[in-house]
Amino acid sequence: MPTGAAGLKENIIEISQVSKQFGRIAAVNHASLNIHKGEIFSLIGHNGAGKSTLFKMMLGLLQPDKGIIRIQGKAVNGKQFRQVRRQIGYLPENVVFYDHLSGIETLRFLGALKGADLNSCGALLDQVGLLEAARRPVRGYSKGMRQRLGFAQALLGEPEMLLLDEPTTGLDPAGIREFYQFLQQLKQRGVTIVLSSHNLAQIQEQVDRIALMKLGDILTVGSVQDLREQLDLALQFQVFLHTSSAGEPLRHALMNLSGCKPRFDGKMVSISCDRKQKMALLATLVNTGGVRDIHIQEPSLEDLFLGYVDETAPAQNQTARS
Amino acid sequence: MPVELKQIGIIAQKEFWDRIRNRWVLAVTAIFVFFALVIAYFGASQEGVVGFSSIELTIASLVSLAIYLVPLIALILGYDAIVGERERGSLDLLLALPVTRLELLLGKYVGLSAALIFSIGAGFGLVGLFLSYRIDPGALGQYAGFMLSTILMGMAFLSLSFLISVFATNKTIASGTAIALWFFYVLVYDLILLGVLVVTEGQLGGDFFPFLLLLNPADIFRILNVFSLEQVKTLYGLATVFPESLANPWLLSGSILLWIAGPLGLAYWKFR
């Protein structure tokens, strides 16, 4: 990731104290966030958390009521808005095109408006696997093909940042894998990627940092590991024993270990263990003997998300906003 | 923010070619040709004659045709220009590009106007070409004036359709409003004015009557054409209630230009 002279990461998107109100509902509430150049950043949250509103404000489609958003130091809706928008590739959630236009015509139209090199349209379609369908009307495209076309149009003009709202909707598992591989390649080229997704299992291995949103507030920002440490959720151990009888000495040993909740099931023991007790538990398992194998599972992004959501907010607001 | 003509041109070009590709232009041209020929031929049948008569009477018949057809076609052409994009979900994609809302609105308006102008030009132009063998070539200037005023009226109603499209929350409301507007301006407006005059025996609104006619682009079009045709002027009762001073073609053309700019300006105010 590019860093400045003092070793600080270069901010490409700066969101400071941004608020947006729809009627009495605060869609985004004093949000502040810096997104670094060349990182893959994800906004996660329930429906109605404010992700799409924040996305639209980053694109200049919505004007914040308060605060300011800067892209590469320029106000997103300022005098240099054309320059700013040429640097951004946007894939909206449920992307819709003109059904009568073909894939290549769609790219040429949008590319002309973006000031992109129109000779690159064919190559972009090739990149997303749509070259053969390039001259077919979009009305005949499947959902996955439309999503690929959406991704191709986001890449028009070689943007420095991509804003992708639910980018894997409609893609099959192979398509999703290809998509994330491609994102990693773009990242290597220094492209900044901001994406929102409900599929937390998919993104947890792909993103550098996450902003967790709830009811218009940014609850926390950091890497998955940062979030794990902040929330201090228990680790899940699965211990496989040689024999069922080996369970009894282990039960006794674990009784003396605080922060561990074992559940015995024949030759398998599931233990929920506080993070700080990890090494003590490992030592206990080794010393007790009879252990054939151990699997340690860190809390998933979904666990973290649910942990934060449960920890932070009154449930009644959530229902009102969804 | 400064307007980039290039962006307007790209959007206009797409809108125009969309109407060529989906044969909208062809269909509307055919409608104009068919009805214009029928009306030009049978226009004088009430007087017991059929056939192509004088250019002035032919234009008078075509004015009646254009007043019904052109506003309807223009309103149908433009009612979903913005609300359609919004409902489809493609508006955000367009506005996330380096395009201002004004450029988008103008681009769509220019493109759809071009399609309308092409249809009117080709439809009535073909009929004009056909008539040119049968009438005094000098009278073709009057015919060209009729075509130009038809285009202006069409653009005024197209502008109104954009206003509807920006204010409507969905396409169903937009199409209903467009049809209602057509009924109001083409069928109801004059009847209301006439009704008020008759009921009050000219006591109410008599002085304002000519100005009230300027509040309807279809009436401006009618007056513009009726007053430019000497032979026809006497046939229309309108000439007796509309003062000669207000019938200046420049003034009337200016009024219709205001009908183009006004609703479009209002549409931009709302859309931005």
Within-domain flag for A187: yes
Split into its structural domains, chain A has a count of: 2
Classify residue A294 by its DSSP letter.
E
Separation CA A86–CA B96 (nearest Å):
9
CA distance A258 to chain B (A): 55
Q: Which of A53, A76, A82, A104 to probe by mutation at the B interface, max B CB count within 10 Å? A: A82
Q: Which residue has the higher pLDDT, B1 or A183?
A: A183
Candidates A59, A96, A97; nearest CB to B96: A59
Split into its structural domains, chain B has a count of: 1
How many residues in chain B?
272
Least confident of A33-37, A273-277, B204-208, B251-255: B204-208
Q: Which residues of B187-223 are buried (b: 16+ CB within 10 A; e: fewer)?
A: eebbeebeebbeeeeeeeeeeebbeebbebbbbbbbb
CA distance A200 to chain B (A): 25
Q: Which of B259, B91, B258 is nearest to A56 (CA)?
A: B91
Give the per-residue pLDDT at B32.
87
Within-domain flag for A306: no
Domain that holds residue A20: 11-229
Q: Which helix (H) or strand (E) holds A236?
A: strand A235-241
Give the per-residue pLDDT at A15.
93
Within-domain flag for A310: no
Give the per-residue pLDDT at A20.
94
Q: Nearest-CA residue of chain B relative to A81? A: B98
Tokens of B65: 């045709």
Q: Do A151 and A247 fall into the same domain?
A: no
Q: Do A165 and A247 fall into the same domain?
A: no
Q: Which residues of B261-270 are buried (b: 16+ CB within 10 A; e: fewer)?
A: eebbebbbee
Give the tens place of pLDDT for each residue, B26-65.
888 998 888 888 887 776 666 677 776 677 777 888 888 8
Neighbouring-strand partners of residue A69: A15
Give the per-residue pLDDT at B43.
66
Give A198: exposed, middle or buried? Use CB within 10 Å, 0-12, 13-18, 19+: middle
Candidates A100, A112, A115; nearest CB to B22: A100
Q: Do A221 and A74 fall into the same domain?
A: yes
Separation CA A129–CA B253 (nearest Å):
55
Tokens of A117: 């090199």
Candidates B10, B22, B96; nearest CB to A61: B96
Give the tens place of pLDDT for each residue, A253-294.
888 788 888 898 888 999 988 888 888 889 888 888 888 999
Confidence category of residue A315, pLDDT binned at 50, 70, 90? very low
Q: Do A257 and A160 fall into the same domain?
A: no
Confidence category of residue A322, pLDDT binned at 50, 70, 90? very low
Arithmetic mean of pLDDT over chain B? 86
Q: Do A147 and A239 fall into the same domain?
A: no
A92 inside 8 A of chain B by CB: yes
Within-domain flag for A41: yes
Residue B90 pLDDT > 70: yes
Q: Do A161 and A256 fall into the same domain?
A: no
Separation CA B218–CA B224 (nearest Å):
10
Give the per-residue pLDDT at B44.
64
Q: Do A160 and A276 fall into the same domain?
A: no
A113 inside 8 A of chain B by CB: yes
Give the tens place of pLDDT for each residue, B158-203.
999 999 999 999 999 999 999 999 999 999 998 888 888 788 776 6
> Could you tell me if B147 and B65 are in contact, meaning their C-beta atoms sit under 8 angstroms apart?
no
Cβ distance of B89 and A85 shorter than 8 Å: no
Q: Do A104 and A239 fall into the same domain?
A: no
Within-domain flag for A239: yes
Would strands A66-71 and A11-22 be described as parallel, antiparallel, or unpaired?
Answer: antiparallel
CA distance A318 to chain B (A): 26
Separation CA B74–CA B80 (nearest Å):
11
Least confident of A145-149, A203-207, B145-149: A203-207
Arithmetic mean of pLDDT over chain A? 86
Within-domain flag for A307: no
Q: Do A77 and A175 fall into the same domain?
A: yes
Residue A140 pLDDT > 50: yes
Tokens of A266: 């024949």
State percent of chain B over pLDDT 70.
Answer: 86
Question: How far out from the chain centre does Cα A35 lie?
Answer: 13
Q: Do A149 and A62 fall into the same domain?
A: yes
Q: Do A140 and A263 fall into the same domain?
A: no
Give the per-residue pLDDT at B205.
60
Give the per-residue pLDDT at A318.
41
A278 Cβ partners below 8 Å, 6+ apart? A235, A296
Give the tens place of pLDDT for each residue, A21-60.
998 888 999 999 999 999 999 998 888 888 889 999 999 8
A153 inside 8 A of chain B by CB: yes
Q: Nearest-CA residue of chain B relative to A63? A: B272
Q: Do A180 and A281 fall into the same domain?
A: no
Helices (H) and strands (E) in chain B, counts: 14, 0
A6 inside 8 A of chain B by CB: no
Within-domain flag for A312: no
Domain that holds residue B94: 5-271
Give the per-residue pLDDT at A319.
38
Within-domain flag for A319: no
Give the per-residue pLDDT at A317.
42
Confidence category of residue B72, pLDDT binned at 50, 70, 90? very high
CATH of the domain at A132: 3.40.50.300
